Amino acid sequence: MTGRGAAIGGGGGRSAILDVLEQIALRDGQVVHVESLAAREAAFRDPELPLPEALREGLLRLGVERLYTHQAQTLDAVRQGRHVVVVTGTASGKTLCYNLPVLEGVLADTGSRALYLFPTKALAHDPVKASKRPTGERP
C-alpha cells in the first residue's frame, strides 16, 4: 500500500490506526493520558441459586455457558434486595448484570414490568436488544 492507507493496518501488536488516533488526540489536547492494560484471564462463578431453566437455555443459545464472577455476584446481590453499581471495562458483560435480574423477575411474574433509564439516547437501544436475545425474542 502507498500513501495514507499504509499507516492503517499492519501486523500483530498494537494497531497502526490506534497510534494515529492517539497522536491526533494528544496533539489537539483532547487526551491527556493513554494507558494499555494487559489482558487478564476471565473468572467465572455460578450464582448462589441456579438461573431459571428458560433463562439458562436462552444464554446457552447465545453461547454463554457460565457467568463471569461480577455477573453472578451482581445477580446474587440483587436477589438479596441490595442496590448494585457495576463498573467494569468495555465489553465485560455489564448488560447481563442488569438484564439477568429483570428477565428472572419477568419469568417469575409475567405481569411484571421493568423500566430502563439511561443517560444517553445512544445507550438506550443496545440493552433493549440484548434483553430480548436470551428469551429468543427478536429485537
pLDDT of amino acid 128: 61
- Mean pLDDT over 50-55 rounds to 96
41 — phi, psi (to 5°)? -65, 140
- Mean pLDDT over 45-65 rounds to 96
pLDDT of amino acid 5: 36
Q: Where are the domains of the chain?
A: 1-36, 53-132
- The pTM of this model reads 0.64
Q: Are 107 and 52 in contact (CB under 8 A)?
A: yes
Q: Are 94 and 86 in contact (CB under 8 A)?
A: yes
pLDDT surpasses 70 at 19: yes
pLDDT of amino acid 6: 35
